């Protein structure tokens, strides 16, 4: 069972992101410690016992702790939605910006002969890590947007879609109208036996994206395959031979799907108000 939103290891409005950070970090011990440390240091700076630069570094540390609290609940979580993806991107961007500013400041000090060049090594590594962290956030956010568009596309398809320009873009096959976990296991095993690689599943059953959109995606599976590539052709024939319903997307559908994929199972239905789906 593979679900791309569970990748191991987030820019929307900053004010919205800051509010979310405050909600996320309420129980985060790193943030709590950073806040306490800043309050102590602020009093000492006002009393002239500490330089203001030291307080500024502590405030940066607090911002980092807040942003990491956001990332722990988004980038390193299996439940990611479009809303949370924006928070994730903004948090990762702020962490990257802080590392870049710190690195540039230290580089100027080294060039002026005020600081040793050895101080740059750790900062370069931290900036590189922040860049990779941001790139991962972008990748996860893009995947989340893709899944959202796919889910909306599947929900909005008519029973017998007819492309306006005559080209094939979407096809719906109702089959027997049902798709069971046992059937999926058979499809998965047959695909791996035929192509010697796992079935490229992008959404398995219920996901955070489908819950957020109010769709019941239980016993449905999205597969990242173009129906015209050999694997896609084989999969559609396999599903039809066993009367398993599917939606096939050959290309991006403006406002609906951002790329080709195959949805196995009947159309996702609407969740009842207040209902919580579970696989």
pLDDT mean across residues, the chain: 75
Partners of residue 173 on adjacent β-strands:
246
Q: Which residues of the chain carry a pLDDT beneath 70? A: 1-27, 77-79, 147, 149-169, 205, 207-217, 251-259, 268-279
pLDDT at position 154, please? 61
pLDDT at position 31, please? 78
253 three-class SS: strand
Query: Tokens representing 168?
Result: 């094939």
Write down the domain spans for the chain: 4-140, 170-270
198's CB contacts (< 8 A; 6+ apart) are 2, 188, 191, 192
pLDDT at position 271, please? 55
116 by Cβ neighbours in 10 Å (0-12 / 13-18 / 19+) ranks as: exposed
Give the C-alpha separation, 116 to 113, whole Å. 7
pLDDT at position 202, please? 77
Q: How far is CA 167 from CA 11, 111, 158, 162, 249, in A?
A: 36, 62, 16, 9, 12
pLDDT at position 177, please? 87
pLDDT at position 260, please? 75
pTM: 0.54
DSSP 177-224: S---HHHHHHHHHHHHHHHSS---EEEESS-HHHHHHTEE-TT-EEE-
Query: Tokens representing 165?
Result: 């320009």
Question: 249-258: b or e for each residue (b if 16 or more CB lie within 10 Å)?
Answer: bbbebeebbb
pLDDT at position 266, please? 81
pLDDT at position 46, please? 80
pLDDT at position 16, please? 31
- Which phi and psi (to 5°) does residue 118 adopt? -60, -25
Give the C-alpha separation, 10 to 127, whole Å. 16
Q: How far is CA 139 from CA 10, 42, 93, 133, 246, in A?
A: 9, 39, 13, 10, 27
CB 27 within 8 A of CB 76: no
């Amino acid at each position: 069972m593979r679900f791309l939103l569970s990748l191991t290891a987030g820019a929307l409005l900053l004010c919205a992101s800051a509010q979310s950070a405050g909600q996320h970090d309420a129980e985060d011990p790193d943030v709590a410690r950073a806040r306490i440390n800043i309050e102590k240091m602020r009093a000492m700076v006002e009393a002239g016992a500490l330089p203001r630069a030291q307080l500024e570094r502590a405030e940066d540390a607090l911002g980092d702790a807040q942003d990491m609290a956001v990332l722990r609940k988004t980038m390193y979580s299996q439940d990611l939605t479009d809303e949370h993806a924006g928070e994730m991107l903004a948090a990762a961007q702020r962490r990257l910006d802080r590392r870049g500013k710190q690195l540039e400041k230290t580089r100027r000090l080294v060039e002026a002969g005020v600081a040793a060049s050895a101080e740059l090594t750790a900062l370069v590594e931290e900036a590189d890590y922040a860049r990779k962290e941001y790139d991962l956030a972008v990748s996860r956010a893009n995947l989340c947007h893709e899944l959202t568009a796919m889910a909306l596309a599947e929900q909005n398809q008519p029973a017998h879609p007819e492309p306006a320009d005559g080209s094939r873009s979407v096809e719906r096959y109702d089959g027997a109208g049902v798709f069971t976990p046992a059937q999926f296991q058979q499809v998965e095993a047959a695909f791996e036996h035929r192509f010697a690689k796992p079935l490229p599943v992008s959404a398995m059953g219920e996901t955070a994206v489908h819950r957020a959109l109010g769709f019941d995606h239980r016993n449905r599976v999205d597969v990242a395959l173009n129906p015209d590539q050999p694997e896609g052709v084989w999969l559609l024939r396999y599903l039809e031979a066993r009367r398993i319903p599917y939606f096939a997307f050959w290309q991006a559908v403006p406002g609906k799907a951002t790329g080709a994929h195959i949805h196995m199972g009947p159309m996702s239905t609407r969740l009842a108000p207040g209902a919580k789906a579970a696989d």
